[in-house]
Amino acid sequence: MLVSLAELKLEQRSPDAAATIEQALSAAEESGETLPKAGAMDLKARLLAERGETQAAARAYDVAVRLLSESKVPARMRECLLEYGKLLVSCNRRCSAKRKLPGWPRGCFG
C-alpha cells in the first residue's frame, strides 16, 4: 500500500515523495517482503535519478533488480531494467560530452 502511495507522490512530484518512499522502504524491510522492497528501491532510484544523483540511483537500481530477480517477476524486472538503462544512457551522453572538455577525468559516472 505504501509503495503505491509513494509511486503516486513521485509521479505528482509531491514534496513529500522522498519521505513516503523511505516509509515504504522501512515498512517493506520490517515485513521482510521482497517485492514491496524492490518496488520501493525502484522508486528511490527514480527519485535519485531525477535529482541527478546518478551514483546513488545506480546503487538503488542494482538492489531493485537483484530483489526482482529473486522474486521471479519478469515484467517488473524488465520495467526496472528499462529505467536503469535510461539512466545509464543519460550518464553516458553526459560523460561523452564532458570527455570532450580539456582536462576532464576519464572515469565518468555522475
Instruction: Going residue by residue through the chain, which has 110 residues, state the pLDDT in tens, using 9 for 90 and above.
Output: 899 999 999 999 999 999 999 999 999 999 999 999 999 999 999 999 999 898 899 999 999 999 998 888 888 889 998 998 888 888 777 665 555 545 544 444 44
pTM for this model (two decimals): 0.79
Q: How many domains does the chain contain in total?
A: 1
Indicate whether 110 belongs to any domain.
no
Indicate whether 29 belongs to any domain.
yes
C-alpha cell of residue 25 = 522502504
Residue 14, domain extent: 2-94
The Cα–Cα gap between 24 and 2 comes to 5
Residue identified by cell 519478469 is 74
